[in-house]
């Protein structure tokens, strides 16, 4: 017997009958796709005879199963600012039907907001959800996406799930500092603890990325007091003295707890950091609907002469192995903290370069235009400095009366208002010409990174570099002398005629050296005798011994 089928018997007579296979219970292809039935017919004789027939019934699929997701809710976490195209998650659904009824396509539900569709993309064949917009935790920290899996049957059936995307915060926002109230100017006799300004500090990040620490610079005479979360008071910590300091530039610095930490500060505009500020101003009325207008404002920052010239070390070692100086403001030079070194030769003509002072100013335009002045010695000294080049040269021929060393104080000023300046000292040693050349060569071969040398140490004369230079000069002179001696000996041996030395007692000797009868007399002298025709093929040197001549006849 079968629970799904039954036989409807309709007999017309005893010899024939009509059979009908009747479905008594709905079929489910997913449970049993094939049914095998055996139909048996028997007669009424004795013995009874039977006949059988097997029926194989294949159940055709009907689109009666909707797609089903593995999970009803998917959760995924992603960092804000992730790269576009990042794979967030892959959802999967199954359909128990077969054929076209089991083909599934994935798509966003109709109730998904347009913002979500702009932020994420769905692959309808694979179920992959990828990022196609820029995530910003501060704008939206989570998204809920309704996903639908639909088959291709007729009529199509669908299943649904939900994907929750949690955006993780990244420390991408620096703290913001706002001055909500400012009480200036401050009276000189203001009491300690007087509130000068009220500040508001905020950070759009969350957690440790949004925890802000604040400090004030310079630390005196002001300080910060936290009033409540995100608010500070700038208070007076010390008594003021207008005659000593007439104004203060106070900078409030805020730093968050992220890694890496981001910083912000509120202070005066700095041309060296920002030259142009651009922002938008919007005006909105109170009508219904409200109307608004926008305007773009460009703020150009004008440079102020707030940077003094800075002295630079000599390029490539230069004539001086190091440099130092001190920045100052006002007409008078500040204290000298280091020295440049240079060498000049006695008798050097006027206009000969000795050294070059190099400086730079962080300001721009007229405030960065530098001029160089010789502050010491005053009057008509042996040196001068180029007004705009900074090149130190001889003003006249150097004489012994100028002394073995000259100390020059050079002031570098800008053209700002008020002018700011820096000073440098140049110690020029007056030496012989050869010594000056050797000293300059030794200086240029030294490492540029050897650092500045203090003037006091150089004047002691016991520095290791000075001893090295002395031995270097001695070695060069010795090698040069040996080389010169070798050249002289070689030339003498090469060009002097070869001779034979004859010695023996007796009177002066006459020697014949050629067939034509050339004679030569030699006594305590040497002569070169050779064949008259052509170049000499053999030379003969004749010497008489250094004996006194024999006595003459009586």
Quick: pLDDT tens for 389-420: 899 988 888 877 778 888 889 999 999 888 99
pLDDT of residue 315: 61
Measure the CA angle with vertex 275, ends 274 and 278; round to 5°: 85
Domain locations in the chain as residue ranges: 5-58, 68-168, 176-266, 310-446, 494-554
The closest of 376, 355, 249, 279 to 312, measured between CA atoms, is 355
* pLDDT tops 70 at residue 352: yes
Q: Tell which CATH classification among 3.40.50.11440, 2.60.40.60, 2.60.40.10, 1.10.3720.10 matches the domain 5-58.
A: 2.60.40.60
* pLDDT tops 80 at residue 126: yes
Mean pLDDT throughout 102-120?
92
Higher pLDDT, residue 528 or 111: 111
Neighbour tally for 306: CB within 10 Å:
16
Which region among 46-55, 61-70, 495-504, 525-534 has the lowest average model confidence (pLDDT)?
525-534
pLDDT of residue 508: 44
pLDDT of residue 542: 41
CATH of domain 176-266: 2.60.40.60
The C-alpha atoms of residue 442 and residue 434 are separated, in whole angstroms, by 12
pLDDT of residue 451: 39
Q: Tell which CATH classification among 3.30.830.10, 3.20.20.70, 2.60.40.1580, 2.60.40.60 matches the domain 310-446.
A: 2.60.40.60
CATH of domain 68-168: 2.60.40.60
The C-alpha atoms of residue 542 and residue 535 are separated, in whole angstroms, by 19
Mean pLDDT throughout 114-137?
94
Which region among 70-74, 180-184, 203-207 has the lowest average model confidence (pLDDT)?
180-184
Higher pLDDT, residue 405 or 506: 405
Handedness of CA 206, 208, 211, 213 (dihedral sign): negative
Higher pLDDT, residue 323 or 244: 244
Asked if the domains 5-58 and 68-168 are classified in one and the same CATH topology, the answer is yes
* pLDDT tier at 135, thresholds 50, 70, 90: very high
pLDDT in tens, 259-271: 888 877 766 778 8
pLDDT in tens, 353-383: 888 888 999 998 889 999 999 988 877 788 8
Measure the CA angle with vertex 196, ends 191 and 200; round to 5°: 145
Measure the CA angle with vertex 168, ends 164 and 173; round to 5°: 140
pLDDT in tens, 306-341: 889 998 887 644 444 333 333 333 333 333 344 678
The closest of 72, 55, 45 to 20, measured between CA atoms, is 55
Mean pLDDT throughout 497-515?
43
* pLDDT tops 60 at residue 146: yes
Q: What percent of the chain has pLDDT over 90?
A: 24
pLDDT in tens, 52-97: 988 898 888 888 889 999 999 999 999 998 999 999 999 999 999 8
pLDDT of residue 511: 41
pLDDT of residue 3: 83
* pLDDT tier at 442, thresholds 50, 70, 90: low
pLDDT in tens, 280-312: 899 999 999 999 999 999 988 888 888 899 988
* pLDDT tops 60 at residue 468: no
**pTM score:** 0.47
* pLDDT tier at 207, thresholds 50, 70, 90: confident
pLDDT of residue 515: 40
Higher pLDDT, residue 531 or 371: 371
pLDDT in tens, 419-429: 999 988 888 88
Looking at every residue in the chain, the average pLDDT score rounds to: 78
Q: What percent of the chain has pLDDT over 70?
A: 76
Q: Are 405 and 428 a contacting pair, CB within 8 Å?
A: yes
Which region among 123-137, 233-247, 456-470, 493-507 has the lowest average model confidence (pLDDT)?
456-470
* pLDDT tops 90 at residue 150: yes
Mean pLDDT throughout 224-239?
89
What one-character-per-residue DSSP string does 186-243 give? PPTTPPTT-EEEEEEEE-SS-GGGG-EEEEEES-SSEEEEEEETTEEEEEE-S---TT
The C-alpha atoms of residue 320 and residue 70 are separated, in whole angstroms, by 79
* pLDDT tops 70 at residue 32: yes
pLDDT of residue 434: 52
Higher pLDDT, residue 375 or 522: 375
**For 354, what's the count of Cα atoms within 13 Å in the CB-facing half-sphere?**
33
Higher pLDDT, residue 345 or 254: 254
How buried is residue 40: exposed, middle or buried, by Cβ count under 10 Å (0-12/13-18/19+)?
Answer: exposed
DSSP 103: -
* pLDDT tops 70 at residue 175: yes
């Amino acid at each position: 017997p079968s629970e799904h089928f039954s036989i409807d018997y309709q007999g017309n007579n005893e010899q024939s009958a009509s059979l009908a296979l009747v479905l008594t219970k709905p079929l489910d292809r997913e449970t049993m796709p094939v049914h095998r039935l055996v139909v048996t017919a028997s007669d009424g004789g004795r013995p009874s005879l039977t006949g059988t027939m097997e029926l194989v019934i294949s159940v055709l699929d009907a689109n009666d199963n909707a797609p089903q997701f593995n999970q009803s809710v998917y959760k995924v976490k992603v960092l804000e600012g992730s790269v576009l195209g990042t794979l967030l998650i892959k959802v999967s659904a199954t359909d128990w039907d077969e054929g076209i009824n089991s083909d599934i396509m994935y798509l966003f539900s109709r109730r998904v907001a347009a913002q979500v569709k702009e932020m994420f993309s769905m692959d309808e064949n694979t179920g992959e959800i990828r990022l196609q917009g820029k995530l910003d935790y501060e704008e939206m920290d989570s998204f809920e996406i309704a996903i639908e899996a639909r088959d291709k049957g007729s009529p199509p059936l669908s299943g649904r799930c939900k994907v929750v995307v949690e955006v993780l915060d990244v420390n991408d926002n620096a703290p913001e500092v706002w001055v909500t109230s400012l009480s200036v100017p401050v009276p000189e006799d203001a009491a300690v603890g007087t509130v000068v300004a009220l500040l508001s500090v905020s950070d759009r990040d969350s957690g440790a990325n949004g925890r802000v620490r604040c400090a004030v610079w310079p630390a005196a005479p002001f300080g910060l007091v936290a009033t409540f979360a995100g608010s500070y008071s700038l208070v007076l910590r010390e008594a003021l003295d207008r005659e000593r300091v007439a104004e203060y530039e106070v900078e409030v610095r805020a730093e968050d707890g992220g890694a890496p930490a981001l910083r912000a500060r509120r202070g005066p505009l700095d041309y060296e950091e920002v030259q142009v500020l651009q922002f938008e101003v919007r005006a909105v009325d109170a009508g219904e609907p409200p109307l608004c207008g926008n305007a773009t404002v460009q703020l150009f920052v004008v440079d102020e002469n707030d940077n003094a010239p800075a002295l630079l070390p000599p390029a490539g070692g230069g004539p001086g192995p190091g440099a130092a100086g001190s920045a100052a403001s006002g007409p008078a030079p500040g204290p000298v903290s280091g020295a440049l070194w240079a060498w000049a030769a006695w008798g050097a003509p006027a206009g000969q370069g000795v050294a070059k002072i190099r400086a730079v100013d962080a300001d721009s335009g007229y405030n960065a235009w530098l001029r160089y002045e010789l502050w010491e010695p005053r009057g008509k000294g042996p040196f001068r400095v180029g007004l705009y080049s900074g090149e130190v040269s001889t003003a006249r021929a150097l004489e012994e009366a100028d002394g073995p060393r000259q100390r020059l104080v050079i002031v570098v000023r800008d053209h700002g208002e008020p002018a700011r300046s820096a000073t440098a000292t140049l110690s020029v040693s007056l030496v012989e010409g050869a010594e000056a050349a050797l000293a300059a060569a030794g200086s240029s071969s030294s490492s540029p990174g050897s650092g500045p040398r203090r003037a006091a140490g150089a004047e002691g004369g016991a520095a290791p570099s000075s001893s090295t230079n002395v031995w270097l000069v001695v070695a060069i002179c010795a090698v040069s002398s040996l080389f010169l001696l070798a050249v002289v000996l070689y030339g003498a041996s090469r060009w002097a005629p070869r001779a034979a030395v004859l010695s023996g007692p007796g009177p002066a000797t006459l020697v014949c050296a050629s067939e034509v009868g050339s004679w030569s007399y030699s006594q305590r002298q040497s002569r070169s005798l050779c064949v008259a025709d052509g170049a000499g093929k053999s030379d003969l040197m004749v010497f008489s011994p250094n004996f006194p001549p024999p006595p003459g006849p009586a």
